Amino acid sequence: MSVVLPEPVPERPVPERAVPDPVATPAQTVRVVNVANGLTLLRLLLVPVFGWALLHEHGTDTTWRVIAFAVFAVASMTDRLDGDLARRRGLVTDVGKMADPIADKALTGTALVGLSALDLLPWWVTGVILARELGITLLRFWVIRHGVIPASRGGKYKTFLQTVAIGLYLLPLQDWLATVAAWVMGAALVLTVATGVDYVVRALALRRAARSPS
């Protein structure tokens, strides 16, 4: 007597789950057009307005010097606001990360070069500050694949003192007020160099740590 075994039932293929296309579905979900990036754009647009006001009448008109100071003050305030809004409301974008430092350096560089062109600030001071900012920017690109170096407290003080010093130089101050402006700029210059050296040391340490075997 032979036993007839049932034929095996063929298994149904399990449909594969759709995998989202990383190109079609970008990781960044924050809209580029937001209030934080808008403030950064405003700061960039104010740079040529500020430069024109500063150089108007070769810097000899008191009214235009005050206008330049007002535009610089507004642009500087947007620097603080856009960063706070981006972090507090989750509006950080890649575009904002790139545009924010560009806007900062454009504003500071225009102010320093303009003041030196008007013989209100020695060119060597402008050269030291701009060389430091350019050097640190290049250094960031040099170590970016190894990590990001956070801004130090000294760097924040440096930025604050630079802003205050530039603001004072923009105003047509005389006598002891002009001396105060020079002292503030001197303090800003010292912090600019000191924080630059500190950043170089930390960048080199980061590269050594990344290359050393774990």
Q: Which of 19, 89, 75, 16 is nearest to 44 (CA)?
A: 75
Which residue in 74, 76, 75, 93 sits closest to 36, CA to CA?
93
SS3 (DSSP) at 150? coil
CA distance 168 to 180: 8
Could you give the dihedral angle defined by the CA atoms of residues 64, 67, 69 and 75, in that order, rounded to the nearest 10 degrees? -140
How would residue 21 be classed by pLDDT, with cut points 50, 70 and 90? very low
Enumerate residues 6+ apart whose C-beta is below 8 A from 75.
42, 43, 46, 47, 50, 107
Residue 36 has pLDDT above 60, yes or no: yes
Of residues 182 and 23, which shows the higher confidence score? 182
Residue 205 has pLDDT above 80, yes or no: yes
Q: Report pLDDT for 20.
A: 44
- Is residue 156's pLDDT more than 90? no
- The answer, yes or no, to whether residue 24 has pLDDT greater than 60, is no
SS3 content of the chain, % helix, strand, coil (to 5): 70, 0, 30
Question: Rounded CA gap, 190 and 193, in Å?
Answer: 5
pLDDT of residue 25: 39
- The angle, 0 to 180 degrees and rounded to 10, between the axes of the packed helices 94-117 and 153-170 is 40
Write the pLDDT tens digit of every residue in 98-119: 777 788 889 999 999 999 999 9
pLDDT greater at residue 192 or residue 209: 192
Kindly report the pTM of this predicted structure.
0.77
- What is the predicted pLDDT for the residue at 50? 96
> Among 7-16, 63-72, 144-153, where is mean pLDDT lowest?
7-16
- Average pLDDT of the chain, as a whole number: 81
Residue 12 vs residue 113, higher pLDDT: 113
